Amino acid sequence: MNLDPKTRNDLRATAAKLAGIFLTGLLALLPIFITIAVVLWLFQVAESVLGGLLGVLLPSSLYLPGMGIALSIALIFMVGAGMQGLVVRQFLGWVELAINRIPLVKTVYGAVRDLTGLMGNKAGRKFSQVVTVQLPNLPMRLVGFVTIEDLASVGLSGDKDEVAVYLPMSYQIGGYTLLLPRRYLTAVDMSFEDAMRFVITAGVSRPSEGEDPGSGSR
């Protein structure tokens, strides 16, 4: 079918507009879909593992679907409450020590532990200050977090004014730890959460309108 140039241009413009609308909707819904998928996967794993255990321990007439999820939620609350006491902390410390003796397993466990530690409410307390780093002779600044104020406390004493600064990488799990003099640092009035969100997303994600940029915990 032969179409005149004006009709073809109108069809292309309409197709481009529809594609733009579809992409906008996809980008809006994709984070929600991914979040739901991850939560459902976690529930499925909990039901499969703990539900399977309950299926073995309980008579079939007493086991109901969803008991594995309920048990996992109860277990998480019990561990959270138990972490306030010395006995549970010591027990989990022994478990962690045993895991750290297993090659490869300790690497995976350490990466997951560090990641969950960054997402935890107390993560910001591990970083004493949000700073920008000005490296010598380079016309750029890097956002980082001071992790150790006194390097002598970890056996890395050098320049008496040196500190350890962690520089996370955008869109990746990883980063660099620099040991450098404090004179290359500039303190930033930004919360840990806002600074980490800025770096991890390469500045794409910022506090929404009306949200106090410094409202997070430091």
Determine the pLDDT at residue 216.
47
Assign 177 to helix, strand or coil. strand
In CATH, the number for domain 124-200 is 2.30.30
Encode pLDDT of 79-121 as tens digits: 777 777 777 778 778 888 888 888 877 777 776 776 666 555 4
Reduced to 3 states (helix: H, G, I; strand: E, B; else coil), residue 75 is: helix
Question: Which residue ranges make up each domain of the chain?
Answer: 1-82, 84-119, 124-200
Nearest CA among 168, 207, 177, 209 for reference residue 190: 207
pTM score over 0.85: no
